[in-house]
Amino acid sequence: MTDIEISKILDIPVKTLADWKKKSSKRNKLYGFLSKIETKEAEGIDTRDVGVDEASVFSSSAKSVILQKKWFNTDLLWSSADGQRIGVDRLITVYMSKPEQRNTDKLVKLFGAKRLKTVIDKNFNNSDFELIRMSANKQIDYENRALNVSKVKKNIKVNPLKLSRVLKGASQETIDRIYSKIGEIPIVEATKMFKPKYPDTMIVKKQLEYAKSRAV
């Protein structure tokens, strides 16, 4: 692929690739791989695109920040006022205790994946938190994935009842994969079979909106 084609697929500026071309860059091998394959091959690699590392908003040495609740999809710090100074490690710990992909993505952008994993290893190292730790780390690794969604949907027969069972409690990654393969309508139809409907229908709706916002 050409630099322009790589830029479009990864949704990054062409000038970023200039840095990737440098042998000292951690993305040099990735650039070499992408430059040697065809666009169709790149589009066929999984249903997601390759994640792109970006510099975090805050320094890795930052001890505290001014809380902006608009950063997050849900408010898990209801006891803390918006605009209040809060410790970074505490902020990460609270949101990673109930990992949700949209919040995790924001945390990675704010503080970097390495900082998040360090806090997780420190505060969720007990066997009682194994599932939380696994889910949190998986979401961190999945962060910043642009969905490569085919414009032409295959004629895939979907059993709404079976799909509804898969969608209930599904991770953002699972919703992404399903959406990239069958599109929005079958997912919406399947959620109509939820019993009870709330809050699962609303959760899937928000996950679907997030998937659509990242589709390319």
pTM, rounded to two decimals: 0.61
Q: What is the pLDDT of residues 157-166, one digit of tens each?
A: 889 999 999 9
pLDDT at residue 148 in the model: 64
pLDDT one digit per residue (tens) for the chain, 216 residues: 888 888 777 767 777 788 888 888 767 878 887 887 777 666 555 433 344 445 688 988 899 999 999 999 999 999 899 999 999 999 999 999 999 999 999 999 999 999 999 999 999 988 889 999 999 999 998 876 666 665 555 567 889 999 999 999 999 989 998 998 888 999 999 999 998 888 999 999 999 999 888 776
Amino acid identity, residue 196?
Answer: P
pLDDT at residue 42 in the model: 65
pLDDT at residue 165 in the model: 93
- Tokens at residue 47, please? 């249903």
Q: Are 48 and 104 within 8 A, CB to CB?
A: no
pLDDT at residue 106 in the model: 93
- Tokens at residue 115, please? 């900082």
Q: What is the pLDDT of residues 43-82, one digit of tens each?
A: 555 433 344 445 688 988 899 999 999 999 999 999 899 9
Q: Write out the DSSP string of 84-125.
A: -EEEHHHHHHHHHTS--HHHHHHHHHHH-HHHHHHHHHHHS-
